[in-house]
């Protein structure tokens, strides 16, 4: 079967479409035929930096597809499913024609969007949900999402709005302001210097800025970015955890129309290097899918 592998770290040229043996699902596992996956920043970082499982390795965290074999009574052959796989920690990459995963990581795909598009949801969505939970974001509170037009930020804006919070956004460029408003942000800026000072009960940073001047006294500052936290009391990082329960909740929100999955572009797996180049150029409004 085909899989995107790396045997060394580097630029997009280290990505190869390899022919490798099909995985044999272990006890309790589900074998999924991949419809699509998506690109996340962790994928180019794992490709480029000395991080992740021993090489050679298959990359990828996001998965949508159909069950072709199951040793988990919760999943049946033919089911349309999605999953989040913590590839760095486990080595279970999803950029592969067939993926074997423990059944407890797999959940039903949303039905309101094409199965391929559902691959845009897992990592970005679960990260946004868990970061908002870490921030204890509550109805009526004012929240600033930094990177509000990005993958995690765009979902965080929608999720926070759905829980009744009042959400503002900071985006990287003026032409992204309308997108953040469309996702549910009330006020949107593209220059950090313009942010109101000491105003927000929660700042959720997805871009690695120091936006702490916008945090109200006693507020919660949560970052998912690699950059060091600003020096404010209680600032904390949120690190995504695999959770089919969270993923299932997100899929339900997609089906009820409360969460919009945004796809910017889609590449066939053979064009994986071009997909990486597009992704790393930035400025995206939505995810980059890779289809199998
Ligand atoms: N901790 C975790 O568990 C976890 C999980 C998932 C992701 N992450 C990390 O979180 C970050 C965001 O992930 P993502 O998937 O959302 O990436 P993304 O889709 O690239 O989103 C980042 C957004 O931030 C914007 N941005 C960059 N500089 C900005 C600035 N100065 N002001 C306002 N916005 C700015 C980007 O705009 P441009 O594209 O125009 O630059 C982009 O819209 C990445 O570093 C990723 O590795 C961490």
- Residue 135 belongs to a domain with what CATH number? 3.40.50.720
pLDDT, average across residues 132-155: 96
Residue 251 lies in a domain: no
Closest approach atom of ligand 1 to CA 41 = 47
Total tally of structural domains belonging to the chain: 2
Q: How far is CA 97 from CA 32, 50, 118, 245, in A?
A: 8, 25, 16, 25
pLDDT, average across residues 239-260: 98
Model confidence band, residue 234 (pLDDT cutoffs 50, 70, 90): confident
Note whether 80 and 160 are same-domain residues: no
For the cut 90, the answer to whether the pLDDT of residue 11 exceeds it is yes
Ligand 1: residues with CB < 6 A are 40-42, 123-124, 127, 146-147, 149-153, 170-173, 206-207, 209, 224-226, 238-240, 282-284
pLDDT of residue 137: 87
pLDDT in tens, 169-178: 999 999 999 9
Q: What is the CATH number of the domain that holds 7?
A: 3.90.180.10
CA of residue 290 to ligand 1 center, whole Å:
19
Note whether 42 and 108 are same-domain residues: yes
Note whether 139 and 183 are same-domain residues: yes
Note whether 130 and 106 are same-domain residues: no
Residue 255 lies in a domain: no
Note whether 98 and 135 are same-domain residues: no
pLDDT of residue 29: 98
Q: Which domain holds residue 269?
A: 2-121+261-291
CB 204 within 8 A of CB 214: no
Note whether 102 and 210 are same-domain residues: no
Q: What percent of the chain has pLDDT over 70?
A: 100
Model confidence band, residue 271 (pLDDT cutoffs 50, 70, 90): very high
Note whether 117 and 158 are same-domain residues: no
Model confidence band, residue 283 (pLDDT cutoffs 50, 70, 90): very high
- Count of Cβ atoms closer than 10 Å to residue 175 Cβ: 12
């Amino acid at each position: 079967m085909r899989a995107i592998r790396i045997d060394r770290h580097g630029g997009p040229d280290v990505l190869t479409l390899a022919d490798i043996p099909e995985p044999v699902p272990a006890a309790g596992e589900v074998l999924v035929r991949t419809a699509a996956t998506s690109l996340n920043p962790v994928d180019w970082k794992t490709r480029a930096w000395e991080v992740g499982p021993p090489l050679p390795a298959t990359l990828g965290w996001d998965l949508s597809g159909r069950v072709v074999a199951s040793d988990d009574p919760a999943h049946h052959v033919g089911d349309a499913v999605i999953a989040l796989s913590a590839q760095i920690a486990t080595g279970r990459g999803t950029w592969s024609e067939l993926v074997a995963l423990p059944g407890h990581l797999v959940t039903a795909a949303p039905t309101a969007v094409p199965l391929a598009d559902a691959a845009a949801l897992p990592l970005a969505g679960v990260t946004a949900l868990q970061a908002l939970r870490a921030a204890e974001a509550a109805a009526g509170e004012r929240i600033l999402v930094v990177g509000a037009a990005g993958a995690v930020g765009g979902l965080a804006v929608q999720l926070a709005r759905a829980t009744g919070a009042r959400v503002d956004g900071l985006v990287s460029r003026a032409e992204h302001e309308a997108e953040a408003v469309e996702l549910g942000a009330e006020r949107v800026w593209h220059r950090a210097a313009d942010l109101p000072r000491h105003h927000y009960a929660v700042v959720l940073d997805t871009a690695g800025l120091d936006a702490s001047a916008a945090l109200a006294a006693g507020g919660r500052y949560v970052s998912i970015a690699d950059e060091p936290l600003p020096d404010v009391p209680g600032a904390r990082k949120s690190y995504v955890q695999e959770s089919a329960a969270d993923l299932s909740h997100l899929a339900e929100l997609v089906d009820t129309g409360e969460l919009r999955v945004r796809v910017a572009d889609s590449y066939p797996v053979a064009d994986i290097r071009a997909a990486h180049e597009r992704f790393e150029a930035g400025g995206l409004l939505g995810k980059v899918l890779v289809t199998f």
